[in-house]
Copies of this chain bind each other. A is one copy, B any other.
Amino acid sequence: MTKPAGNTNIAVFDSTLRDGAQAEGISFSVEDKIKITRALDELGVAYIEAGNPGSNPKDLEFFQRVKGINLKHAALTAFGSTRRPGVTPAEDDNIKNLVLAETPAVAIFGKSWDFHVTDIINTTLEENLAMIQDTMAYFKSLGKEVVYDAEHFFDGYKNNPEYAMATLQAAKTGGADWIVLCETNGGAFPQEVFDATALVVKEVGGKIGIHCHNDGGMAVANTIMAVEAGARQVQGTYVGFGERCGNVNLCTVIGNLQLKKRMQCLPDGKLQELTPTARYIAEVANISLNEREPFIGNSAFAHKGGMHIDGVHKNVRSFEHVDPEKIGNKRRFLMSEVAGRSTILNKIRKVNPNIRKDSEETRLVMQRLKELEHEGYQFEGAESSFELVIRKTLGKYKPFFTLDHFKIIDEQMPDGTHSSTAILKINVDGKEEVTAAEGNGPVNALDKALRKALEAFYPELKEVYLADYKVRVLDTRSATASRVRVLIESSDGRYVWSTVGVSGDIIEASWLALVDSMEYKLLKIIEEKASAYM
């Protein structure tokens, strides 16, 4: 028998690898699933629902491979349905596969909405009750912890309350350890969820859980309301992947319950892993996180409006509901025309600590920022380019190289082959360097040629690589003659920095961002060396 992890009083049941795998655009390899299992166990969730061995051979392979892994916190859980009508559990093929998964816990879903019984699986209401009870009893006889998922419980309760309650009683009689109320279609309202859950806690009793979907945009509120009504297991997925609009996002639920309701969901000291774990799982799933995601999003504590930034500088409580560090996220102040002086001042002070809010330099930088934003620049995602703008405006900048010229030739040959070549000539302290490179596209060719040229003078640049490249068309009205903004993210393995370039020509825009990236890195190398002697 498995207990909730550590001394938590809410059992977190993660279904990223099962319900999450039913999200559009998500397809986990067995390798991915093992990585995510380790990450979730490290975080300290109580249950990891890792797949449906009955319906999916890939999942069965996963369960075979995962047996070797020793989990610290989580009970590995296999998912499946109650027995088919008219057979015993032992005869049912899906159930046989569930047994083969050899997990300490199983999650079995059954029908609680009479309409689904009669119109979707086409059996009698009586047989459905027997299917639930028999299947629970069978898995208990095998010594497993059994979680009963009451599919569509809330729709069923609206349609036929007596029958919906009867399905829960059947699960209880069968010996289910947990009875989980599923808001499968995601359309319920918080008060409905609270009232129905409170009634189940009172009339059925035992350990109750909640499983919500987000079709109405209220999955988090519905889950919290169920917990307030007495539910003690919360099912969801990490970052909210799932069918249609997704399952409830466990990051948000955990953040709310543990920081505000003082109900422990993760073992001591694990809460600050919430954000890094979300980013890791998104990486493995190869999807980009929604920047505005509560608690863990990149923008969740990003302040842009001038009055907001001013307020947060005076007291963080003024515009933050929780301390970002508690969940491993961080506060950011965004550069923009709505940002106001104080933010910009902090950036200026990194270059020259003596400058004040009312200094002439501050005014000049503000003015330059407005001009550049008018041209289509945006420094929110390009802090490093903005530091260079400040240095240029304050005369604290000396270029590391100058471009003489570059030339790009992009050809489609008669035989259909395509090639991109870049030739360039730069000048470093009077020394010239001419290089050429072929690339997968013109920007890639230019990037390679510039590195080649600079590495002759600055070998440290060898470790720099481009981590991300984004293109935005700014004014689509003029179509292919429109201006583009190119954002580049570079890394040297230790740090990541972002730069931006804007032009009517995508190649020139890319060039500007590439140059900023190299210059910024060289600047940091010098600063590091300098500070080493201080």
Contacts and interface: CB of A to CB of B under 8 A. Distances in A.
A440 B481 contact: yes
Given A321-B187, A407-B411, A479 B473 contact: no
A471 B486 CA distance: 11
Scoring A216, A302, A407, A474 by chain B CB atoms within 10 A of each residue's CB, the highest score goes to A216
Nearest to A302: B24
A409 interface: yes
B292 A214 contact: yes
A469 B465 contact: no
A465 B479 contact: yes
Main SS at interface, chain A: mixed
B185 A321 contact: yes
B410 A405 contact: no
A441 B24 contact: no
Interface string A270-314: 000000000000000010001111110111111111111011001
Contacts of A507: 410, 420, 441-442
Contacts of A470: 473, 476
Given A292-B246, A411-B408, A506-B442, A24 B215 contact: no
A239 B319 CA distance: 22
Report how many copies the assembly holds. 2
B473 A473 contact: no
Scoring A314, A318, A412, A511 by chain B CB atoms within 10 A of each residue's CB, the highest score goes to A412
A311 B31 CA distance: 31
B405 A408 contact: no
A161 interface: no
Contacts of A442: 408, 410, 442, 505-507
Interface string A352-386: 00000000000000000000010000101100000
Contact of A23 (B23, B299, B406, B466): B299
Contacts of A494: none
Contacts of A300: 215, 244-245
A346 to B, nearest CB: 17
Given A216-B252, A303-B243, A116 B408 contact: no
Contacts of A217: 220-221, 249, 252, 256, 294-295
A122 to B, nearest CB: 9
A100 interface: no
9 contacts: A81-B307, A115-B317, A215-B294, A218-B224, A244-B301, A244-B302, A245-B297, A406-B411, A467-B477
